[in-house]
Amino acid sequence: MNYIALLLLLGVVIALCIFINKVSDKFKIPSLLLFIGLGLIFGVIFRLVNLGNFTEYNIGNVVCSILLVFVIFFGGFGTNFKAAKPVIKQSIVLSLVGTLATGFLLGGVVYLIFMILPFGNISFLEALLIGAVISSTDAASVFDILRRRKLNLKYNTASMLEVESGSNDPMSYLLTFILVSLLSVNYGISNDSYAWYQVIIMFISQIGLGAISGIGFGLLGVFILKKTNLSSSHGSTLFLLALGLISYSLPSILPPAFAGNGYLGCYIAGLILGNSKIPEKRESVKFFDNVTSISQMIIFFLLGLLATPEWLIKVETLVPAVLIFILLTLIIRPLVVFSILAPSKAKLNQITLVAFGGLRGVASIVFATYAMSMLGEDNLPYDIFSIIFIVVILSLVLQGSFLPTVATRLDMISLNDDVMKTFNDYTDEKDISFFKLNITKNHSWCNKPLKECVTPKDFLIVLIMREGKTSVPNGNSIILENDSLICCAPSFNSDEEGFDLSEINVIKNSPFINKHIYETELPKGTLIVLIKRNGNNIVPNGMTVILEEDTLVTLNINKSI
C-alpha cells in the first residue's frame, strides 16, 4: 500500500470517526466502542481484498504507546484537583493499592481458570501478566461517558472515578513492565537476570523517577510560563506539548533495570500544569482535548484493525475472556473497592457505583500489544491481545452502556452538582463581554438615576464616561445626555449556541448598494448585525444605508426554535 493509499485511508477513517461521534451522541452508545468496530470492519475488508491480516504488534505498540502519552497527559491536565480534593485520598488508594490488588487477585484467578479448564498450562507469572494488563480502569472511557451523558453524581463520585482512572494506568504499566522483563528472561529473549531485590529496585525506580520527572517538569513548566511570554502563536500550548513528551521520554530512556515510569511522569506533569494559573490555559485545554479525541480515535481504530475476528471466537480465547470479565466485574473489583472505601465510611450506593464504574479500555489493550511485541506471539501460551480485547469490548458494552442506568437505580444522580466542574475546561464564571452604550437626548435612560433604569438580567453598568472623566456609578448616579456607559453582559458563543457569523462584501453592482437595511432581501433567519466601513464598525438599524465597499457581518440561525 503506497503513501497515497494510506492518506486516502486515513482521511476516510477520520471522516467516519467524526460521523460515528454524532451517531454515538444520538443513540447513547460509547463512541470508543464504535471506533473499535470500525477497525474490525476495515480489517475484514483488508482480508477480503487480499491485503492480509494487519497483525504488526510492534508497529501497533509504537503508534499506540505514543498516542497514549497524550491521553494520559490530558488525563492529568484536564482533572480539576480542587473539585477532587474531598476524595483525593480514596482516589489515590484506589489507583495505587486497588490496581495492585486487582492485578494480583485477577492473576490468581486466571491461573486457576487455566488449571481447571483444558486451555493449556501456564506459569503463575504468565497468569499475573493478564492480571497486570487489565488491572487499570480506563480514563478515556470514563471521561467519555461522564461528559457525554452529563452524569452529575453525588458525593464527588465523578471526581473519584476520574482521578482513579486517570492515574492508575502508570501502575498497570509498571506491573506489566516488570512481568514482561521477568518473562523475557524465562523465554531466553533477554540475557539479564533479576534477583528479588533487583525487582524491588526496579519497582522503586519506576515510581520514584517517574514521579520526579513529573513533578520536576510540571513545576519547571509553570515557572517558565509565568516568567516568559510564550503566548504569541500558541507558544504556551506547544510548550506544554513538549513538556508532556519530555516528562514521559526522559525517565523511560534509561536502561530497563533503572528506568522510570514515563506514563506516571507525564500524568503528574499534566496534573500540576493543568491545576496552575498559566497563560493560554483555556486554549491549551481545548487543544489537548482535540488531540486526545483524535488519539483515542486512532488508537481504538488501530486496535480494532489488529484484532482478528476468527481468533476472537476461538473457545480457548472466548471462554477465558468471558470468565475473566465476569469474575473481575462481579467479584474482584467490588471486593477491592469495598475493602478500600468501606473504612472511609463511604455510602454503600457510592461503593457499588464505583465498583461498577471500573471500565476497562484503551490502556489495557495497548499494554497487551506491548507484551505481545516484547515477548512474541509464539512464546506466550495464550493470545493475550485477543483475551484483553474481548474483556474491554464486554466492559464498554455492558458497563459503559448501563452506567447511567445503574447510577439512577442506585440514587446517585445529584440535582445540585455539575460533573463538568470536575474538568479543567469548566469555569464557574460565565465569560463576560464589555461594550459601550452612548446616551442620546431621546434615550429612555436620559436624566434618570441608575436605579430607575430597567436593565436585562445579568446586565451591569460598570463605568460612566462624561466629558473625558470616568466614574464608577451607584444606584443614585444620574445618567445624562452624551454620557457613554461601559456595560458588561454574558458573552455569546455563536458556535456553542448553534449560530454562524459570516461576512458579505458589498461590491460594485451588488443588489444591496444604496438600500436601507429594511429593504434588503436576506434568507430567513439571517440578520445584519454589524457593518464594517472605512475601518469603522457600525451597529446598524433598519434605516442604515448600505454603501459600496461595506462589509456586512450577518448572524445566521442554523437551528430551529
Tell which wins on pLDDT, 533 or 124: 124
Least confident of 247-251, 410-414, 425-429, 444-448: 425-429
* Number of helices (H), then strands (E), in the chain: 22, 10
Least confident of 2-6, 58-62, 267-271, 387-391: 2-6
- What the block records as the C-alpha cell of 494 is 455563536
Q: Residues 136-140: what's their mean pLDDT? A: 82
What confidence tier does 428 reach under pLDDT thresholds 50, 70, 90? very low
What is the pLDDT at residue 17?
72
**What residue has cell string 483515542?**
296
Q: What is the DSSP string of 335-358?
A: HHHHHHHGGGT--HHHHHHHHHT-
Q: Which domains does the chain have, with CATH numbers?
A: 53-422 (1.20.1530.20), 432-490 (3.30.70.1450), 498-557 (3.30.70.1450)
What is the pLDDT at residue 232?
58
What is the pLDDT at residue 349?
92
**What residue has cell string 466492559?**
395
**536-546 pLDDT tens trace:** 778 788 888 99
Q: Residues 494-515: what's their mean pLDDT? A: 74
**355-377 pLDDT tens trace:** 998 888 888 888 988 898 888 87
**3-39 pLDDT tens trace:** 676 677 777 777 777 777 666 666 666 666 777 778 7
Tell which wins on pLDDT, 36 or 427: 36
The three-point CA angle 347-349-354 to 5° equals 95
| Average pLDDT score over the chain | 82
Are 80 and 156 a contacting pair, CB within 8 Å? no
- What the block records as the C-alpha cell of 488 is 458588561
In this predicted structure, the answer to whether residue 555 has a pLDDT above a threshold of 70 is yes
Are 319 and 117 a contacting pair, CB within 8 Å? yes
Percent of the chain with pLDDT over 70: 87
Task: Please tell me what DSSP assigns to residue 430.
Answer: P
What confidence tier does 420 reach under pLDDT thresholds 50, 70, 90? low
Q: Using the CB atoms, write b or e for 232-254: b if 16+ within 10 Å.
A: eeeebbebbbebbbbbbebbbee
pTM exceeding the 0.75 threshold for the entire prediction: no
What is the pLDDT at residue 104?
94
SS3 of 486, please? strand
What confidence tier does 558 reach under pLDDT thresholds 50, 70, 90? low
What is the pLDDT at residue 135?
92
